[in-house]
Structures are given as structure tokens and as C-alpha cells.
Amino acid sequence: MNLQTALFRAYRYLIYWLLKQDEHALQAPYIYSFYRHVLTTGRSEYEPDIRRLIESLKHNWNTISSQVGAGSVLDAKTYSISSIVSYGMTSPKYSYTLQRIQESMQAKRVLELGTSLGINAAIMARSFGLSHLVTIEKNQILAGIAQSNFEELKVDERIDLMYSSVEEALFLLLNKKDRFDLIYVDANHTYEATLLYYQSLNQLVSKNHGFMIFDDINWSMGMRRAWDEIKEDFDQGIVIENYQMGILIYKADLTPKQYILNF
């Protein structure tokens, strides 16, 4: 990480810290309930079998070429699987937040952009009511490891892993006119790619009560710029963010509003 990026992230964290709200500032019933029962509850450690799997991956020193938008502190042109586990994975807190969001909205169909090692997909695949989860990964080595992880955790029958670029996969999904209740974006963290994803995903998400979640919204100045433009364009429901995640809630009967929440 260069100095400019480090200073930018520190600045954005300060903005978040100054503006964040908790339950005492929330008056709208929907957002109050969502904050209390979804965003601030649940587990902060992996389940035992996932924890054992992650520990084994820490000893995998095989390398892969640079991941676009890895969302980690890694800056090298190649990465070991071990370093991805140590620095490039979503924390348990946020992984299980995804699962709680999914369960709270009773999402049956989920789309994930950026499989990586497959831990988030595996956790979401264990949710109640899920019928199908599609996850997209371009890197062949990561896709292979993720598939093995799905099989070891016994969730492979609920997951469709697309070995493809995000752009190619979205083209196929749009042609099939698929619709998803929950979409999680953790792929190419650039300004151009993030806006392109949003434009496509806006046609794939359920407009009745869908969620679109962007990870690493303060990863870089470009990513932050993209998120700011997305939330200003969004007028179909509620926008929530903290330092790491940005959430769009598609719900036409809610008055459009933006929140910065402590979670």
C-alpha cells in the first residue's frame, strides 16, 4: 500500500467515525429494525468446520497471478493462497452479516461477483430458504480451490460456480433474464468496473425487495468515487454504508434516504 492510499483510507475512516449513527438516532421503523436485528447481531467467529478449513489454507503456499480488485493489503504481482487467507479475506463479522441479511429478507437466489476462496459463498449457501447461489471467479486456480472448499463443506449442490470474467458472466445472466434477491459485489475494485457492474446488476436485482452490496467502498479513491455516484443515482429505496460496505435496499414503499451506520 502506498502512502497516498494509506492517507486516503485514514481520511475516509475519520469521515465515517464522525458521521456514523447508531440505533438511538434511527426513527424509521424499517431501518431501526434492520439495524438492531440484522447488522448488530450474530456471530463474529467462523463455524468450526470453516475455521479448520481456513487453518489448512494458511499452509497452502501455491501462488497465483495478481487478482484484480482483491480487496486486501497485498500489492505484489503474485499471491500465495496463504497470504490471501491472512490479508485478503472478508472478516467473519462481515461474512455472517451477509448471511443475516440473506436470511432476514428470505433471499432465495443470490449472486456473488468475486468468489476468491469461496468462504463467503459457502456461508451464504448455508442460509435458510436459499434455493440457488451463483458465484463468479475468473482465476482458474482460485475457482478450483473454491469448488473443493464447497465440496468439503457440503454446500456444492447449492452453488453454481461460473469460471468466467465478470463481464462475460453478466452478459450470459442478462440474456437469461435472471433475477436475484441479493447481489454481493467483491470483484474489480476500480471506478470504471464498479459502475459497469452496477449498470448491469441493476437489471438483475429484484426491484420488489432486493439488496445489492458493494464491498471495500473505501478501497481506493476510484472505488469511493464510484460508490458516491452509485448512491446518488439510486432512488429506489434505502442506502446504507459503513467504512467497508455499501448497501442498496430496493424497496419502493420506503422513502429514499441515506444512512452511515456504526456496525
CATH number, domain with residue 67:
3.40.50.150
φ, ψ for residue 205 (rounded to 5)? -80, 145
Say what the pLDDT of residue 231 is. 96
Count the domains in the chain: 1
Amino acid at 158: R
Question: What does the pLDDT read at residue 249?
Answer: 97
Predicted local confidence at residue 87, as pLDDT: 86
For residue 247, the model assigns a pLDDT of 98
pLDDT of residue 63: 86
Question: What is the model's pLDDT at position 161?
Answer: 98
Look at residue 76 in the predicted model and tell me its pLDDT: 57
Q: List the one residue out of 151, 153, 115 whose CA is nearest residue 133.
A: 115
Q: Please give the residue range of the domain that contains residue 47.
A: 3-260
Residue with cell string 480451490: 145
The pLDDT value given to residue 71: 47
Counting as low any pLDDT under 50, the low residues of the chain are 68-73
**What are the DSSP calls for 75-89, one per residue?**
-SSEEEHHHHHHHSS
- Look at residue 2 in the predicted model and tell me its pLDDT: 86
Backbone angles phi, psi at 142, to 5 degrees: -65, -40
Residue type, 85: V
Placement of cell 446504507 in the chain = 240
Give the pLDDT score at 75. Answer: 54
**Are 137 and 113 spatial neighbours (Cβ–Cβ below 8 Å)?**
no
User: What confidence score (pLDDT) does residue 77 get?
Assistant: 67
pLDDT score of 69: 45
